[in-house]
Structure 1
Amino acid sequence: MNKYEIKTILLSSSVMAVFFFAILYNAFARKIDVPACIPYNATFRQSAIKKVDDTHYEVYIIARMWAFDPAEIIVPAGSTVDFYLTSADVVHGFNIERKGVNLMAIPGAVNKTTVNFTDYGTYRIVCHEYCGAGHHNMMAQVLVTYLKK
């Protein structure tokens, strides 16, 4: 092997080690959750908000030209929400501001993530993938209300 091949192999190995370290650091030290892609279930054809218990909700969201369904989700502060996301037509983005949620809504696939809403307020949901002429109007929101005692 000549010296340039050895340098290339060492440089490539170093870059792979840095990427591997970054993945482990984000997964364990920063506790960043990787969204799950679950098998498509044909029964998920309608949007829904299901209350599992007082602080746990399941939200089934369908992205379509140019809206999220449901467009408004209301939960009390301190809630944990499981979002199940799919698309009815084209690829859409799904971003919840101030929560670090960034999913893709893909026809024929269901993506899932879990979000804890500890602070009350309004969290906008926007589409971050260009999906056509009405893309800039594609928004929804999560309204987090005071916890009633």
Structure 2
Amino acid sequence: MTGTQSARPGGGRRPGPGHQPGHPAGHEAEHVAETAERRWSFIVGAIIVVIIASMVYAGLHWAAMPPSRVETVDVNTLHLQGEFVEGNLGTQLNPDGSVTVRLIAQQYSFVPQCLVVPAEMPVTFRGTATDAIHGFVVGRTNTNTMLVPGFVATFTTSFKQTGEHLMPCHEYCGTGHEAMWARVQVIPAAEFLAKARTGERLSCVAG
């Protein structure tokens, strides 16, 4: 009988020369899988190392060389001199026609407690904190920021509709956090301009 297999007693066939007893095909598949797993483990490990190294580098870099756009303020003299003295707080119409709101956050209140802003006009908020990290969000608008002691937070936004909004602190700042909130009154632009041309800072604090 010719061929790669020969008859065996009992009707079976004898393994041909291409068959390797003791080395099933599954062993080769396991070896390939293990090699792939080791390769991917190395790649994932390298990615993690790169991410951690990048975070460490960025932290050290910005600590040594903070961005030039960061504004700082001395919390010890905040109420005595500079931009955030009491007479400067509130809403102001600047000579160039722009509108600026200045406020301070402290445990557990905002100063001033009520702000007046115009509708349909750009409004620049500038604020800081005196004692702990605070923050605020104005009603259901996208107006929100964090207030960090020693730094000035600034951003520009606008309000499309008139009305009154609550402005709670959204950063936990202590046991009185839940009672820390202020109000923002949005009034028509013409009404705001008429009031603001007196040159005084505007607020809606009673008295």
Length-normalised TM-score, structure 1? 0.70
Q: Structure 2: which 5+ runs fail to align?
A: 1-34, 52-68, 75-81, 192-207
- CA-atom RMSD, angstroms? 2.8
Q: Which letter maps to 1:44?
A: E
> Which string of whole-angstrom CA distances, capped at 9 and with x for unpartnered residues, describes residues 78-134 of structure 1?
122100110011111221222223311111000101111121111221111111121
Length-normalised TM-score, structure 2? 0.52
Structure with a larger share of its residues in helix: 2
CA distance in structure 1 between the partners assigned to 2:132 and 2:42 by the alignment? 46
CA distance in structure 2 between the partners assigned to 1:90 and 1:48 by the alignment? 21
CA distance in structure 2 between the partners assigned to 1:103 and 1:142 by the alignment? 15
Aligned pairs for 1:14-93 within 5 A: 38-42=70-74, 43-46=82-85, 47-52=89-94, 56-93=98-135
Counterpart of 1:31? none
Q: Structure 1: which 5+ runs fail to align?
A: 17-36
Q: How many residues align?
A: 126
CA distance in structure 2 between the partners assigned to 1:66 and 1:41 by the alignment? 20
CA distance in structure 2 between the partners assigned to 1:131 and 1:80 by the alignment? 30
If you compute each CA radius of gyration, which structure gives the higher value, 1 or 2?
2
Determine whether 1:148 maps to 2:190.
yes
Structure with a larger share of its residues in strand: 1
> Which of 159, 169, 178 is equivalent to 1:117?
159
Determine whether 1:3 maps to 2:35.
no
Answer yes or no: is the 8 Å Cα contact 2:104–2:110 preserved in 1.
yes
> Which string of whole-angstrom CA distances, capped at 9 and with x for unpartnered residues, describes residues 44-89 of structure 1?
3322321126963101110011111111111232122100110011
Answer yes or no: is the 8 Å Cα contact 1:55–1:78 preserved in 2.
no
Shift, 1:7, TM fit: 5.5
CA distance in structure 2 between the partners assigned to 1:54 and 1:74 by the alignment? 19
Determine whether 1:133 maps to 2:175.
yes
CA distance in structure 1 between the partners assigned to 2:140 and 2:96 by the alignment? 23
State the percentage of identical aligned residues. Answer: 30
Q: Which letter maps to 1:68?
A: F
* Stretch moving more, 41-50 or 97-106: 41-50
Q: Which has the higher contact order (CA 8 A, sep 6+)?
A: 1
CA distance in structure 1 between the partners assigned to 2:101 and 2:155 by the alignment? 10
Q: Which letter maps to 1:117?
A: F
